[in-house]
Amino acid sequence: MIVLKTSKELALMKEACRISARALRIAGEAVEPGVTTGELDKIARKVIAEAGATPVFLGYNGFPAAACISINNEVIHGIPNKKRVIRQGDLVKIDLGARLNGFNGDNAATFAAGSISPEAERLSKTTQQALYEGIRAAVAGGRIGDIGAAVQRYCEERGFSLVREFTGHGVGAQLHEDPSVPNFGTPGRGTRLLSGMTLAIEPMVNLGKKEINFMPDKWTVVTRDGELSAHFEHTIAITVNGPVILTKED
């Protein structure tokens, strides 16, 4: 069931999203060679707590941390660990959410530890721009397939592939709501987009092939071919004035 939000509810949800964005930025600024993923998680947790919000990933389906932190060939859902040291050249994906006012924010970004390879840079930039292409397609009267098609076209034209097993999603009072928002699709197909929908759009883009595997921890998703992956995500609202990014600090 898709839950449409009133403008009053969007204002409440904006606060959760603002804190999510702040926690993501501050954790991202701490990414550098030598820091551990456990330390990054601690930073995110602190920012969320100081804002009076709750880290929504912590305990979600049993996830043991406030942030998912995934490095290089890890796509999503990496578990922070105080022994996992980030190295020069790593591509670090942080995904986190905050809950406040009964609503959730959800966002992710890819950060470079020191200087990264040109192909890692191109992958990261393409993934970020693909997110914006998807957001631009999220307009009332359109279809879910318009979003996926925009993301897919932008990435595949540049020689990258899209993970199929995980998708964006509705987000609101629940972290995961209907509809699912695939990063591939056909324009004009799928659920009608309506004003008041709030969606997490989150391309997961692979340098090599699209196939993934699970690690033995049952959480961490990795590329099957061992190549790099990048991830960016915003929570947005579809409004009569077009798509609005909620996971921003302003």
Regarding 9 and contact with Mg ion (CB under 5 A), the answer is no
32-40, 70-78, 99-107, 218-226 -> range binding Mg ion (CB under 5 A): 99-107
CA nearest neighbour of 181 among 121, 111, 234:
234
Regarding 205 and contact with Mg ion (CB under 5 A), the answer is no
Nearer to Mg ion, 48 or 200 (CB): 200
Cα separation, 11 vs 159, in Å, equals 39
Regarding 246 and contact with Mg ion (CB under 5 A), the answer is no
- Residue with tokens 């501050």, as numbered in its chain: 26
Nearer to Mg ion, 107 or 124 (CB): 107
Regarding 181 and contact with Mg ion (CB under 5 A), the answer is no
* Least CB distance to Mg ion at residue 241 (A): 24
Residues in the interface with Mg ion (CB under 5 A) total 2
* Least CB distance to Mg ion at residue 8 (A): 24
35-43, 50-58, 191-199, 200-208 -> range binding Mg ion (CB under 5 A): 200-208
Regarding 200 and contact with Mg ion (CB under 5 A), the answer is yes
Regarding 106 and contact with Mg ion (CB under 5 A), the answer is yes
HSE, CB side, 13 Å, CA atoms: give it for residue 49.
8
Nearer to Mg ion, 24 or 116 (CB): 24
Nearer to Mg ion, 69 or 116 (CB): 69
* Least CB distance to Mg ion at residue 236 (A): 12
Regarding 66 and contact with Mg ion (CB under 5 A), the answer is no
123-131, 198-206, 216-224, 236-244 -> range binding Mg ion (CB under 5 A): 198-206
* Least CB distance to Mg ion at residue 85 (A): 26
Regarding 177 and contact with Mg ion (CB under 5 A), the answer is no
Q: Which residues bind Mg ion (CB under 5 A)?
A: 106, 200
